[in-house]
C-alpha cells in the first residue's frame, strides 16, 4: 500500500496535497479499503468554510458510514461532482480521486499533519501488523 510522499496525512485517514495555498483533499487507500464498496460521498458546497480537525462531510460504504475530517482550515473552492454518480472511483484509486479543493487559511497547520512515512507507520500500528 503506497502513500504518495508529496502529500500530508491525518490520523482520520485523509490526504492533502498543497501547491502554494491551494489544497486538494481525498481519503487514503487504507480508508477506502477499510470501508469497502463506497456508495455515497457527501461534500460541502463551494464557498463553505472548513476547519482543521472538524467534520466536512461523510463517506458511506455498503456496510458503514464514516465522517470526513478536514486536514486544514480554509474555504472550499471546488468539490468533485463526479463522485455523486460514481462514488466507486474512490475505491478504484483513492490516491488520485480528490474530494475537495480549498484555499488554505494558515499553511502552518500542515506541520501538525503526518508525513507519508509516519502515516504508513500509524496505519500499521492501528491494524496490528
> What does the alpha-carbon distance between residue 111 and residue 57 come to, in Å, rounded to a whole number?
23
Task: Indicate whether 46 belongs to the interface with another protein (CB under 8 A).
Answer: no
Is residue 22 within 8 Å of 63, Cβ to Cβ?
Answer: no
Q: Which three cell numbers stand for residue 23?
A: 489544497
Q: Judged by CB, which is closer to another protein: 40, or 54?
A: 40
User: Toward another protein, which CB reaches closer, 43 or 113?
Assistant: 43
Phi, psi (rounded to 5 degrees) for 67: -75, 150
Q: How many angstroms separate the CA atoms of 80 and 17, rounded?
A: 15
CB of 16 to another protein, least distance (A): 24
Q: Which of 12, 51, 60, 103 binds another protein (CB under 8 A)?
A: 60
b/e for 36-52, b at 16 or more Cβ within 10 A? eebeebbbbeeeeebeb
The reply to whether 62 sits near another protein by the rule CB under 8 A is yes
Interface mask (CB under 8 A) for another protein, residues 6-35, using x and -?
----------------------------x-
Residue 82 in contact with another protein, rule: CB under 8 A: no
**Which residues are near another protein by CB under 8 A?**
34, 36-37, 39-40, 58, 60-63, 65, 126-128
Amino acid at each position: 500500500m503506497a502513500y504518495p510522499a508529496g502529500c500530508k496525512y491525518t490520523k482520520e485517514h485523509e490526504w492533502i496535497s498543497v501547491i502554494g495555498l491551494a489544497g486538494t483533499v481525498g481519503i487514503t487507500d487504507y480508508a477506502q479499503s477499510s470501508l469497502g464498496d463506497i456508495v455515497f460521498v457527501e461534500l460541502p458546497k463551494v464557498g463553505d468554510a472548513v476547519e482543521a480537525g472538524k467534520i466536512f462531510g461523510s463517506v458511506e460504504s455498503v456496510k458503514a458510514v464514516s465522517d470526513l475530517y478536514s486536514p486544514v482550515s480554509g474555504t472550499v473552492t471546488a468539490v468533485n461532482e463526479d463522485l455523486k454518480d460514481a462514488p466507486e472511483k474512490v475505491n478504484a484509486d483513492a490516491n488520485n480521486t480528490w474530494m475537495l479543493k480549498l484555499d488554505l487559511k494558515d499553511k502552518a497547520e500542515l506541520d501538525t499533519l503526518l508525513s507519508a512515512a509516519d502515516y504508513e507507520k500509524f496505519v500499521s500500528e492501528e491494524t496490528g501488523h
